[in-house]
């Protein structure tokens, strides 16, 4: 019987990482928020403006699976919107948001 050599720690770590790399995550970029009454929403029509909580020029919030992970700024790349990361939320700040 031939024994397989055990994977060393680095190979095992790589194998574990490869296992999770293909897991899909939901990424959301939030421009701002607003609270409206039902009657106000029913009165919205084309061209209406909804005022958001954020000020112009403030960083956009970037969430992964509903957890804030970064902040960024809007950019245009090949005529599509994108977001440039300007700040990664520290692990300590992420924990504070949960509590």
What does pTM read for this prediction?
0.70
For residue 10, which phi and psi values (nearest 5 degrees)?
-65, -45
Taking only the tens place, the pLDDT of each residue in 32-83 is 999 999 999 999 999 999 999 999 889 999 999 999 999 999 999 999 999 9
The DSSP output letter for 89 is P
Domains of the chain, CATH where assigned: 20-98 (2.30.330.10)
Q: Which residue, 57, 81, 86, is CA-closest to 70?
A: 86
Token pair recorded at residue 1: 């019987």
């Amino acid at each position: 019987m031939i024994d397989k050599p055990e994977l060393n720690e680095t190979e095992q770590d790589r194998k574990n990482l490869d296992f999770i790399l293909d897991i899909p995550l939901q990424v959301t970029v939030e421009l701002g928020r607003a609270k409206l009454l039902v009657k106000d929403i029913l009165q919205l029509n084309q061209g209406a403006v909804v005022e958001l909580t954020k000020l112009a020029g403030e960083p956009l919030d970037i969430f992964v699976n509903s957890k804030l992970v970064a902040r960024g700024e809007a950019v245009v790349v090949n005529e599509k919107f994108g977001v440039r990361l300007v700040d990664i939320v520290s692990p300590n700040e992420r924990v504070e948001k949960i509590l």
